[in-house]
């Protein structure tokens, strides 16, 4: 049994030496290796009452801004439409003025006749004006 015991001891020593050599070979390369790890952990943000209130106010302000912008655009369109209408009226008045000038020329109406004083019984007097004592003549 001596030879079997010595054979087992030799094999144990050889296995230990082999494991030691493998360990030494990998220990040097393991110390020089670097690893990069990308952590993709998604964490939901906590939104408290103040955060929700600020978000709601932001949304409300944005809607109000859109409303004001739409109203300004409509007002601008209305002003543009009114300006076009006034220009149209101005052109018609110019045409009427020219036509009236031709009629006055044809009828030989001068500026002296147009500036003549009007009679006393004009439309400018209020109704029942002759009954006022200040305007009665003796």
Q: Which residue has the higher pLDDT, 5 or 125?
A: 5
Residue 25: what pLDDT?
73
Lowest mean pLDDT: which of 47-51, 59-63, 114-118, 128-132?
128-132
pLDDT tens, residue by residue, 40-68: 878 777 778 898 999 999 999 999 999 99
Alpha carbon distance 117, 136 (integer Å): 21
- The domain segmentation of the chain, as residue ranges, is 57-114
| Joined tokens for residue 40 | 């993709």
Place of tokens 């004006």: 129
Is the full-model pTM beyond 0.85?
A: no
Residue 46: what pLDDT?
77
Contact 116, 122 (CB under 8 A): no
Minimal CA–CA distance to 115: which of 106, 123, 104, 126?
104
Quote the DSSP letter at residue 134. Answer: G
């Amino acid at each position: 049994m001596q030879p079997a015991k010595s054979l087992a001891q030799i094999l144990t020593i050889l296995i230990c030496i082999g494991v030691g050599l493998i360990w030494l070979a990998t220990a040097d390369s393991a110390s020089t290796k670097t690893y990069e790890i990308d952590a993709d952990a998604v964490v939901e943000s906590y939104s408290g009452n103040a955060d929700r209130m600020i978000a709601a106010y932001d949304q409300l302000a944005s809607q109000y801004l859109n409303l004001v912008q739409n109203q300004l655009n409509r007002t601008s369109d209305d002003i543009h439409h009114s300006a076009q209408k006034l220009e149209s009226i101005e052109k018609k008045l110019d045409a009427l003025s020219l036509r009236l000038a031709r009629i006055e020329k044809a009828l030989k109406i001068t500026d002296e006749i147009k500036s003549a004083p009007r009679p006393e019984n004009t439309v400018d007097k209020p109704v029942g004006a002759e009954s006022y004592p200040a305007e009665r003549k003796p």
